[in-house]
């Protein structure tokens, strides 16, 4: 029964987490900590930390974490599926209309006005994560002398390789993780 309540809670969270990512956190907190009292606030903040450290959308991470605590694997499946059902349905409808009307001239023009914004948003996300990697802090708290030289070196090499040789993106990401950890380990800094 609790699982069914949770399932509904995550359907709601999925439906109302407009703006993605961090917009979902207060919603999850409301449902999980305040309304259904499944976790304490402390456990919840642990959950956010882990969700940030692992790949994947924070919403799915949270749903999986809560589902596992409450009902094991069935709980994981119910909660994760619950939180994607609303966006799945809405996006199917959007996809249908997009592919139906995207060749209409006026629609095409409106769409091309949104493309520069998307490029800008990707650029902003990329720069934020770069600064986080190089300085370990957000944009607001950067101290230039705190730059991490290992990360700077790896970034330069990764950038060179990807521009010059068109290497697989995942190989670049995993490669920088492995090489960086090795360097830190050899330097005795871990």
Partner 1 sequence: MKKDYSKLWTLFRSMFMLSACTFGGGFVIVSLMKKKFVEELKWIEEDEMLDVTAITQSAPGPLVVNASVIVGYRIAGVIGSLVAVLGTILPPMIIISIISLFYEQFRTNPYIATALQVMRVGVAAVILDVVLNLAGNVIKTKRVLYIVMMIVAFLAAFVFDISAMAIVGVCLVIGIVDVVVTYGRKKKEVA
**Site residues (CB under 8 A) for partner 1, limited to 100-119:** 102, 106, 109-119
Other Cβ atoms less than 10 A from the Cβ of 116: the count is 9
CB of 31 to partner 1, least distance (A): 15
Binding of partner 1 by 59 (CB under 8 A) = yes
Structure tokens at 87: 């966006």
Binding of partner 1 by 3 (CB under 8 A) = no
Q: Quick one: which of 152, 155, 150 has its CA closest to 173?
A: 155
Among 2, 35, 147, 174, binds partner 1 (CB under 8 A): 174
Binding of partner 1 by 34 (CB under 8 A) = no
Binding of partner 1 by 122 (CB under 8 A) = yes
Counting Cα atoms < 13 Å in the Cβ hemisphere of 39 gives: 23
Q: For partner 1, which is the closer residue by CB, 35 or 68?
A: 68
CB 70 within 8 A of CB 7: no
CB 172 within 8 A of CB 158: yes
**Interacting residues with partner 1 between 6 and 25 (CB under 8 A):** 14-21, 24
Binding of partner 1 by 158 (CB under 8 A) = yes
């Amino acid at each position: 029964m609790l699982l069914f309540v949770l399932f509904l809670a995550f359907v709601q969270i999925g439906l109302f987490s407009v703006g993605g990512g961090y917009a979902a956190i207060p919603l999850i907190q409301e449902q999980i900590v305040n309304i259904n009292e499944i976790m304490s606030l402390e456990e919840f903040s642990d959950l956010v930390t882990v969700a940030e450290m692992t790949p994947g959308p924070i919403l799915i991470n949270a749903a999986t974490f809560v589902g596992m605590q409450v009902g094991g694997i069935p709980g994981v499946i119910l909660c994760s599926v619950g939180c994607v059902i609303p966006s799945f349905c809405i996006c199917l409808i959007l996809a249908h209309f997009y592919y139906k009307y995207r060749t209409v001239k006026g629609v095409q023009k409106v769409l091309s006005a949104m493309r520069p914004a998307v490029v800008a948003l990707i650029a902003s996300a990329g720069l934020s994560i770069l600064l986080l990697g190089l300085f370990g802090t957000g944009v607001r708290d950067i101290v230039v002398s705190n730059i991490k030289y290992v990360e700077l070196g790896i970034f330069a090499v990764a950038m060179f390789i990807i521009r010059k040789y068109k290497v697989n993106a995942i190989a670049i990401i995993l490669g920088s993780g492995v090489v960086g950890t090795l360097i830190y380990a050899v330097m005795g800094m871990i």
